[in-house]
Amino acid sequence: MTISDVAKLAGVSKAAVSKVIRNDYGVSEAMRDRVKRAIDELGYRPQAAARALRGRSFTIGVLMQHIGIPFYAEIMSGLVEQLEESDYQAIMIQGGTRAKTEERAIDALMDRQVDGILMIAPLAGRTQLERVAREIPTLVLGRHDRSPAYDSIVDDDRTGSELVMEHLIALGHRRIGHITFHEDHGQPADHKPHLRAETYERVMRDHGFADEIAVVATSYSEEGGYRGAHELLSRSPRPTAIFAGSDESALGVLTALHEAGLSVPDDVSVAGYDNTRLAAHPNIALTTVNQDGAVMGRTAGRLLLERVEGRAAAVHFSVTPSLVVRRSTAPPGPGA
Amino acid sequence: MTISDVAKLAGVSKAAVSKVIRNDYGVSEAMRDRVKRAIDELGYRPQAAARALRGRSFTIGVLMQHIGIPFYAEIMSGLVEQLEESDYQAIMIQGGTRAKTEERAIDALMDRQVDGILMIAPLAGRTQLERVAREIPTLVLGRHDRSPAYDSIVDDDRTGSELVMEHLIALGHRRIGHITFHEDHGQPADHKPHLRAETYERVMRDHGFADEIAVVATSYSEEGGYRGAHELLSRSPRPTAIFAGSDESALGVLTALHEAGLSVPDDVSVAGYDNTRLAAHPNIALTTVNQDGAVMGRTAGRLLLERVEGRAAAVHFSVTPSLVVRRSTAPPGPGA
DNA sequence: ATGAAAGCGCTAACAA
DNA sequence: TTGTTAGCGCTTTCAT
């Protein structure tokens, strides 16, 4: 089943069929109709490989360390939604957690002649990324180091953290603790999620609460939040609110509070970051920051298609997060 | 950068280079060396599209409804591990939750000439799957309906459920409740996770506890477990153990027990199914059934490569699960 | 507006 | 063992 079969059935040339498929100009209405009918009748679908050999593969490659991360699923749903209206298809590939395996995955995408690459939080250094970007339209998501060679999308952690802090302060909190992570925790240096901790401190200072600043550096995992909360609660007086740097760690905070016999939000308010699925669960009801992965994914799709269409200048996009207030935050209780 | 460049640099023919790349026979040591040196010097990599046009694309396509499901990530890591030693690469594509979008995703894989397809819990009916399998080596994972047209891998829910039940009974439990899901909960009819409920009932009968059978049908979600537990606890006398059909629902059970002021495992033992990441968390420590997605993934890779190499007869694989005992199960307490 | 023909990068059949 | 050559299915000039 090839383009020749369609041409034969429609009684036209292969070139004509090709034009119809690609919505190229220079085909009469009658021609278009006949060809389309033939295509439908045969159930013909062009082979991507043959098309790729002459130009486009109509494929967008997405690189991620692993599937299984809920936030990535959101990004993908946005991307797929955006690409749905085009002729492009997204394929995903796992890069793993080592530079070596990631490189292999990137090569695999290039071998397959993808028309664009979306790299979600890649490990590769800027030089490497630029090498890829020279060959293929590239968009890097979640890295705060820009390059004129590729587009980028970042979440605006500064704004997100401000939203949390202003919310807590407006509720009347002053003694607000924060849980961040150690430098050497497997995150590339330029991921800079430290922006959250930085912003926490700045907002505290701006409001004249410099003396109340209490930061614990563990990790963004549930267990890190658990340990961090333990340390914060051991201080006297204990904080009336805890801003955990991620939802995962906020879950650990909730566990620690529960074990300590403290209730949320009456004794301590808790806020997270990321708006993961569990945060929305009625039994958790965590106030958090929504990064809107779907918007990021849609934007990524749009920017990549623009690149494929010829845009050369780099675009850097910052997605503004929003605050999702749930039951885990409230004014400080009388006991605090 | 093509095969011609390599041939020119090495001073040999394209065919010779091609043979070296494919480890074909009929090349002298000297020839192989010269060609390999040229390949390295140029950093040449063959284009998958061109290869696909003449035969193989060296690509295995994986279809899944969504990424973001931890169990799928495990399957993928097994698959990737298996394919690592071969020249094949796995690419993933999302089929979504509607038959329409899934079909489009399958078509996309076929358009891209993948050499094999792994379908994880597809929505498509058997007829459709067989249509695909006629064109491309196909393996269906997680569906209990077999076909001579494609290979399949299923988890052995019967054995897994028996492991849970025998464990609870060995601990001394008699009043064991079970939470399953409603038929019409979005699962294809032939997914048959009802095997878990069926096995629960059978084991209860086999041990002479037919009178104690207590099944609630809600859903396999956290919220379903929560509601299910509420209903089971309202019975008198209440069960001393609850076997939830999934870890997700077991989490809901834990919440319900906690709210009811009952402790786990002193008042009630709880067991789940799937061994998700949260089940392993020290704060949860849920006894559950490990399906070993990695083994499934590795097996899938092996079977697909066999098919690609020419095997025609269908193979059906059942992966035996294992019990993971954690702190959520213990002998019934004195109060029970 | 339509079609003929060249060629994308590779593999495979055949010759040498 | 090595090289020549004819395509794979499509797109893209370039004639007509």
| Burial (Cβ within 10 Å: 0-12, 13-18, ≥19) of residue B309 | exposed
| Burial (Cβ within 10 Å: 0-12, 13-18, ≥19) of residue B4 | exposed
Q: Which residue of A has its CA nearest to B276?
A: A68
Quick check: B308 contacting A, CB < 8 Å?
no
List, for residues B57-92, the tens digit of each pLDDT value: 999 999 999 897 778 999 999 999 999 999 999 999
Residue A91: which of B45, B46, B93 has the nearest Cβ? B93
Q: Which of residues 33-92 of A touch strand C (CB under 7 A)?
A: 50, 53-54
Percent residues over pLDDT 70 in chain A: 95
Q: Which residue of B has its CA nearest to A226?
A: B283
What pLDDT, on the 0 to 100 scale, is given for residue A168?
98
What pLDDT, on the 0 to 100 scale, is given for residue B281?
67
List, for residues A194-247, the tens digit of each pLDDT value: 889 999 999 999 999 999 999 999 988 888 999 999 999 999 999 999 999 999
Residues A50/A53/A59/A62 CA torsion (nearest 10 deg): 130
Both tokens of residue A143?
Answer: 């890295």
Strand D positions closer than 7 A to protein CB: 1-5, 7-13
For residues A221 and A78, the model is more confident at A78
Quick check: B43 contacting A, CB < 8 Å?
no
Quick check: A69 contacting B, CB < 8 Å?
yes
Mean pLDDT across B15-44: 93
CA of A185 to C1' of C11 (A): 47
Handedness of CA B163, B166, B169, B171 (dihedral sign): negative
Query: In the CATH scheme, what architecture does the domain A55-155+294-320 have?
Result: 3-Layer(aba) Sandwich (3.40)
pLDDT at A172 over 60: yes
Contact B68 A73 (CB under 8 A): yes
Rounded to whole angstroms, how far apart are CA atoms B72 and B60? 16
pLDDT at B213 over 50: yes
Rounded to whole angstroms, how far apart are CA atoms A161 and A166? 9
- What class has domain B157-292? alpha beta
Quick count: other Cβ atoms within 10 Å of Cβ B314?
Answer: 17
A322 contacts A158 by C-beta, under 8 angstroms: no
B291 contacts B120 by C-beta, under 8 angstroms: no
Strand C positions closer than 7 A to protein CB: 1-13
DSSP conformational letter for B72 = H
Nucleotide nearest the Cα atom of A29 (by C1')? C1
List, for residues A89-126, the tens digit of each pLDDT value: 999 999 998 999 999 999 999 999 999 999 999 999 99
Strand stretches in chain B, DSSP E: 59-64, 89-94, 116-120, 138-141, 151-155, 176-181, 214-218, 241-244, 269-271, 288-290, 316-319, 322-324
Total beta-carbon pairs less than 8 A apart between chain A and chain B: 125
Residue B48: which of A64, A111, A252 has the nearest Cβ? A111
Kindly report the CA angle at A209 between A203 and A213, in degrees rounded to 5?
A: 80
Nucleotide nearest the Cα atom of A30 (by C1')? C1
A25 touches strand C (CB under 7 A): yes
CA of B130 to C1' of D8 (A): 26
pTM of the model: 0.84
Same fold, A55-155+294-320 and A157-292: yes
User: Any idea where the domains of chain B sit in the sequence?
Assistant: 3-42, 55-155+294-320, 157-292
Both tokens of residue A81?
Answer: 């939604």
B324 contacts B109 by C-beta, under 8 angstroms: no
